[in-house]
Amino acid sequence: MKGEKSEGIVYIAGAGCGNLITEAAKKLIEEVDVIIHDELLGEKVRELIERSKAEKIDAGKRAGRHRLKQDEINELLVKLAKEGKKVLRLKAGDPFIFGRGGEEMEYLAENGVRFAVVPGVSSAIAAPACAGIPITHRRYDPAVVFITGRQARERLNWDALAKLNATIVILMGMANLRENVKRLMEHGKDPETPAAIIQWGCCERQRVVCSKLRDIAEVAEREGVSSPAIVVIGDVVSVREKVVEFFEGFFD
């Protein structure tokens, strides 16, 4: 019944990008009764989950392949919490950056379930950093815009986005990469703008490909780059070329 308080609690937590999990999230993995986790987690995070004594439920949310639909996840969170259990909803990256954490939070509140939030390190900032690309830099664009590559076209003002002097970071950007790049250029984004794709950011298998905006989709196809990956579009990408010779990756 809505408005009725439950005995259990749900923790909506981010597992971070790759293996960049917080100490708070690690502690929850060890202490909760049930873990409902996403698929795109770092290897070390998966090891932590496997060692946990908690019941494990793989929600498996990836584009086009959902073991549990979002409505089913919402209902399961409420059910388990109302059974008096401590439930960890562990999401890749940060729960509130295209992670539907906001929807889950609203649903829990509507159903009288206590919850807490543990932010995670989003791939939107971590993956470029692990590739030697600062998404902000005083010599380049003074703003950053995060968008989802699966955004419905009618919900995004492509004209404003293309003309804004901001670095563009596209999460979940591979499936519609060619179309999104085309729309940016059609609305005025300079085809010569540097662009990069970071696949498996902050993991040992991380890959980075760079090109001009006009060529980035073709380069990605030629190099076989696929999801999970993020796209960075902006002059800050050029910094990588200056530092890459001395740049050491750190993924532990």
Pairing of strands 194-199, 207-212: antiparallel
Residues in contact with 77: Cβ distance below 8 Å, sequence separation at least 6, in sequence order: 10, 36, 87, 89, 104, 107, 108, 113
Residues in contact with 4: Cβ distance below 8 Å, sequence separation at least 6, in sequence order: 112
Q: Is 38 a catalytic residue?
A: yes
The two tokens of residue 241 are 């070329």
Which tens digits make up the pLDDT trace of 185-197?
999 999 999 999 9
Of how many residues is the chain composed?
252
Q: State the catalytic residue, choosing from 38, 105, 141, 189.
A: 38
DSSP 160: H
- Residue 66 predicted with pLDDT over 70: no
Residues in contact with 208: Cβ distance below 8 Å, sequence separation at least 6, in sequence order: 131, 196, 197, 198, 199, 240
**CB–CB of 173/229 below 8 Å?**
yes
What's the average model confidence in pLDDT over 46-63?
89
- Residue 1 predicted with pLDDT over 60: no
Q: Is 189 a catalytic residue?
A: no
For the chain, the structural domain boundaries read: 9-118, 123-246
Residue 26 CB-density burial (10 A; 0-12 exposed, 13-18 middle, 19+ buried): middle
Q: Report phi then psi at 37, rounded to 5.
A: -120, 155
Q: Quote the CATH superfamily of domain 9-118.
A: Tetrapyrrole methylase, N-terminal domain (3.40.1010.10)
Predicted pLDDT at 250: 66
CATH 3.40.50.20 fits 123-246, yes or no: no
Confidence of residue 209 (pLDDT cuts 50, 70, 90): very high
Which tens digits make up the pLDDT trace of 92-131?
999 999 999 999 999 999 999 999 999 999 999 999 999 9
User: Mean pLDDT score of the chain, rounded to an integer?
Assistant: 92
Q: Is 53 a catalytic residue?
A: no
Q: State the catalytic residue, choosing from 85, 105, 141, 172.
A: 172
CB atoms within 10 A of CB 175: 14
Handedness of CA 163, 165, 169, 174 (dihedral sign): positive
Is the model more confident about 210 or about 150? 210
For the chain, the distance separating the N- and C-terminal CA atoms, rounded to the nearest angstrom, is 44
Which tens digits make up the pLDDT trace of 145-168?
999 987 655 688 999 999 999 999
